[in-house]
A = this chain, B = another copy of it.
Amino acid sequence: MLTPNPRVVFAKRPGTGLPVPGEHLVYDASRSIDLEAVPLNGGFLTETLMLSPEPFLRERMRDLSVDSYSTHAVVGAPMVGFVLAVVLRSEKEGVNPGDHMLGLSHWEAYTVQPYMEGRVDFKAGKYPDWTEDTDAMALYQVGDPKGIYPWSRYFSVLGGPGLTAFCGLEAYGDPKKGETIYISSGASAVGSILIQLAKEKGLRVIASAGSDAKVEYMRSLGADVAFNYKTTPIAAALKEHGPLDIYWDNVGGEAVEIAIEYLRLHGRVILCGAISEYNVAPKDRHGVKNLSEVCKKRLRIYGLMVAEHMATLGPRFFAEVPALMAQGKVTARETFTEGLENAADAFVKMLQAGGAEELGKPVVIVAKE
């Protein structure tokens, strides 16, 4: 018996602009699958419950001539990103029907694992040493939260955003009680968790975002100072509420330049992906003119990539953060979009830095249990 098996296909590289649903990302409802009979070849069959639109997926869509920290997405194959899936059938030892799994998979209703379409031959790709084998972020079993928190937390606090906030602050922030941190994109998936972790560390938190609703949200998470950068220039806010000990950058460009100006002696800058630059050609990016301040104030600037801290900080993360969640000290908001057919829209909306009206981590519901 055939069941419809829709997917979102990465149809065309978007160059330097925003991807356009229907052109670069195409919803394909023409396929079907026999859930009982499809060969598993020693693997397992998953049903996708939720998927996570994330900035790094845009990075994967870049032109083949451009290198980056991730491998290239494959044109003509389904989008590959973080999903929460449930196992329907399995031939793999240790993986059983009913298991919930998190990790990379297709933007697709049902998938035989390991997925083969869209997989990059990493060795043959001749990538530079800073490129991760993205497909290695395979599905792994996750525990049932049993109603203590919703499954969607695996995309926010307990997923990439939470790990990123935790590992960056621990590895590079060197936070000391009473110090001040400025977080750009404070209402974003990473930023919203970071505000709470920073407060737990005893930091004074300044956070910015692009709407008044987000400002309220950041305040509700504990930010001591929250401002809308569209109505209050960053420099004015930092002049009033700085100086800073730590700057967490989620946007890149001019924000880095301004923050450097307001950092104190021995300040730290953590660069965590420059969303403002993902869709801008290198030559058109904002040039940071004040690196001599880095010398003067003996600043340290770090490029953060969460994957490489998993081995050292992952165990502490999984020991500490769920406990903070249970105590209500760390929470998250997820913004839900229903239906795989709307996944591309949700993704593009997330990429419009500051433009999205929704609060919290975008999550696309593909199926309900």
A-side interface residues toward B, CB under 8 Å?
Answer: 67-69, 128-130, 252-253, 256, 264-265, 271-274, 277, 282-283, 285-305, 308
Contact = CB atoms under 8 A, between A and B. Distances in A.
A303 B298 contact: yes
Given A129-B265, A130-B264, A290 B298 contact: no
Nearest to A285: B289
A103 to B, nearest CB: 22
14 contacts: A69-B295, A130-B296, A271-B291, A274-B292, A287-B288, A288-B288, A293-B303, A294-B302, A295-B305, A297-B303, A298-B302, A298-B308, A300-B301, A301-B301
Nearest to A70: B296
A305 B298 contact: yes
A303 B308 contact: no
Contacts of A308: 298
Contact of A295 (B274, B289, B300): B274
B271 A130 contact: no
B287 A273 contact: no
A12 B286 CA distance: 36
A291 B256 contact: yes
Contacts of A272: 295
Contacts of A271: 291-292, 294-295
Nearest to A302: B300
Nearest to A305: B298
Central interface residue in A253, A283, A296, by most chain B CB within 10 Å: A296
| Closest CB pairs A-B (n = 8) | A287-B287, A301-B301, A130-B265, A295-B303, A294-B303, A129-B265, A298-B303, A130-B297
A291 B252 contact: yes
Contacts of A300: 300-303
A172 to B, nearest CB: 9
Contact of A282 (B67, B256, B289): B289
Nearest to A298: B303
A42 B277 CA distance: 63
Given A298-B305, A301-B300, A302-B300, A291 B292 contact: no
Contacts of A290: 282, 285
